[in-house]
Structure 1
Amino acid sequence: MLELQGLTRRFGAATAVEAVDLRVPEGQMLGIIGRSGAGKSTLLRMINRLTEPSAGRILHRGRDVTALRGAPLRRWRTDCAMIFQQFNLVPRLDVLTNVLVGRLNHLPAWRSLSGAWPEADRAIALAALEQLDIGNLAGQRAGSLSGGQQQRVAIARALVQEPSIILADEPVASLDPRNAKLVMDALAEINRRYGIPVLVNIHSLDLARTYCERLVGLAAGRLVFDGPPEALTEEAARRLYGLEAAEAVGAEPPRIPVAA
């Protein structure tokens, strides 16, 4: 169980996230929705401790994550894998090496410095790429891939961290509809196969309602919606999107089949 208690982040006089209380059970696929600037990315970055909370607590399985420092904090960032909109790969390195970076915190310091990857870790990385249907790209430079392929490499890198939670910050924002579906399929499959909670910031309400069993909505840093996709009525969306509500909600989208 992940629990946020009064989680707040201020930047000077501006408040990006204000007193968010949230409980995320094991195995849930949670969509975080809202307008740009609503505080969605800041919320995820606080959970991973890339951004320090100004107030409140983060608890994971009863442990106070906000109190972690040094090596325990580094382990938490491994345990709480981040997937970013811009992939954060090293373009000049091959795909396999980019994925192996996710294994660094599982290696002794001398191995991580030398780049001497154990065969077991290489096998784990290759298996992750195969699971995402991109094993054939292992030897290619990451910078030569399409955006959708790069994002699946980033998901493979997160998966080999062996995380307890995956945080995905607008993972499909820069992708075309076909590649967006492939990336969301991959996240949903990981969620189902391994029972890893996935928290995903997502701009498309159609994708959010299709893939996520629960949605939470932020407006001006406050949590103003929490419920199943079918509860996201036009009235609820108006609190999130203002005058854009009718367009944002639209008609109920067909559910996209996700490979078992």
Structure 2
Amino acid sequence: MKFELRNVTRRFGERTAVNDVNLEIPQGQMVGIIGRSGAGKSTLLRMINRLTDPSSGSIHFGDLEVSRLRGNALRGWQRDCAMIFQQFNLVPRLDVLTNVLLGRLNHRSTVMSLLSVFTREERIMAIAALERLGIEQTALQRAGTLSGGQQQRVAIARALMQAPKMVLADEPIASLDPLNAKIVMDALRDINEREGITVITNLHTLDTARGYCERIIGMADGHVVFDGTPSELTAEAVQAIYGSDRDGAGIDESMTSTSINIPASAERPARSSAGVNALAAASV
């Protein structure tokens, strides 16, 4: 199912944050969006998820015109288009399992949501999502006690609970150390490859964009100035996206590097369904 932006513009007063953007993204691509701070990357993602409305233009997903949705239809789109934020957006006082279960709210009745009554099947789903991200042992901890890398993995598990058709990640590794950045990006790539879900992520490191994304979109001053493969992201393209420093020199990519040499870890042993069921029962 193709996702498309047609002449999308967003203005804030006299400032134009996103200017006449046209993009077509086929189902199942992993796309990285790069550019300076203020280039329009976050505004673009927020319009896709409809946290921000476009000032003009239209957004489409297959036959669905996303930019016209209201009410229940809009909530359905925000369920199908999961958003992962730089600052995690967890509820620190709640335990990890409950934070992950919150991803099911748009699948449930209002009464069930208000009462925070989750089924056994939903709890099993949540624990399986945590296992997939290697943090099932934190299920009963308060989310606020976790490290930044662990919290971001909880946020990804919560997004998986939405059963999304698309995942948007806004600078998901900006506040993480290189090891946790790799773990989070590996998780996003796994979702993309295993489920065939489109992943669109804003990134501030060029080596990460090249290493994980099959397509890179560069933005500058609200415009798309580059759209191509990692191999096409040449020094000239990088300069078009980031410009030059005050001395006229191009950007030094090593300054944005998050590279870390990590040996391939052994595959995590599969856990029995009994173990999953036991933890789900303990959390009731």
1:108, 1:74 → 2: CA distance?
13
Task: Specify the SS of the correspondent of 1:45.
Answer: helix
TM-score of the pair, normalised by structure 2: 0.88
1:9 alignment partner AA? R
Partner of 2:11: 10
Contact 1:241–1:248 (CA under 8 A) maintained in structure 2: no
Q: Deviations over 1:64-113 (max 9, x none)?
A: 00110000001100100000000000001000000000001111221111
Partner of 2:252: 247
Partner of 1:225: 226
1:128 alignment partner AA? A
Q: Tell me the CA shift for residue 250 of structure 1.
A: 8.1
2:178 alignment partner AA? P
2:262, 2:68 → 1: CA distance?
41
Q: Deviations over 1:112-134 (max 9, x none)?
A: 11111111111111110010011
Partner of 1:98: 99
Contact 1:189–1:258 (CA under 8 A) maintained in structure 2: no
Q: How many aligned positions are there?
A: 260
Counterparts in 2 of 1:61-72, with a 5 A limit?
A: 61-72=62-73
Q: Deviations over 1:210-260 (max 9, x none)?
A: 000000000000000000011111111111111154413789979988889
1:28, 1:213 → 2: CA distance?
7
Q: Tell me the CA shift for residue 61 of structure 1.
A: 1.1
Cα separation, partners in 2 of 1:34 and 1:255, compared to 1, 3 Å: farther
Partner of 1:124: 125
Q: Which has the larger radius of gyration?
A: 2
Partner of 2:208: 207
Unaligned runs of at least 5 residues, structure 2: 268-284
1:166, 1:257 → 2: CA distance?
28
Partner of 2:279: none
TM-score of the pair, normalised by structure 1: 0.96
1:257, 1:61 → 2: CA distance?
41
Partner of 1:113: 114
Contact 2:30–2:198 (CA under 8 A) maintained in structure 1: yes
Q: Does 1:171 align with 2:176?
A: no
Cα separation, partners in 2 of 1:141 and 1:106, compared to 1, 3 Å: same
1:62, 1:15 → 2: CA distance?
28
Task: Specify the SS of the correspondent of 1:243.
Answer: coil
Spell out structure 1 runs of 4+ moving beyond 2 A.
248-260
2:243, 2:161 → 1: CA distance?
40
Q: Does 1:189 align with 2:190?
A: yes
2:253 alignment partner AA? A
Q: Tell me the CA shift for residue 149 of structure 1.
A: 0.2
Partner of 2:59: 58
Task: Specify the SS of the correspondent of 1:92.
Answer: coil
Partner of 1:235: 236
Partner of 1:28: 29
Contact 1:210–1:256 (CA under 8 A) maintained in structure 2: no
2:252 alignment partner AA? E
2:159 alignment partner AA? A
Contact 1:233–1:249 (CA under 8 A) maintained in structure 2: no
Cα separation, partners in 2 of 1:167 and 1:12, compared to 1, 3 Å: same
1:90, 1:219 → 2: CA distance?
34
Task: Specify the SS of the correspondent of 1:130.
Answer: helix
2:18, 2:242 → 1: CA distance?
17
Identity percentage over the alignment? 60
Partner of 1:76: 77
1:163, 1:203 → 2: CA distance?
24
Partner of 1:37: 38
1:134, 1:2 → 2: CA distance?
32
1:203, 1:191 → 2: CA distance?
20
Contact 2:206–2:256 (CA under 8 A) maintained in structure 1: no
2:150 alignment partner AA? Q
Q: Tell me the CA shift for residue 172 of structure 1.
A: 0.3
Contact 2:82–2:164 (CA under 8 A) maintained in structure 1: yes
Contact 1:4–1:58 (CA under 8 A) maintained in structure 2: yes
Counterparts in 2 of 1:137-148, with a 5 A limit?
A: 137-148=138-149
Q: Tell me the CA shift for residue 62 of structure 1.
A: 2.0
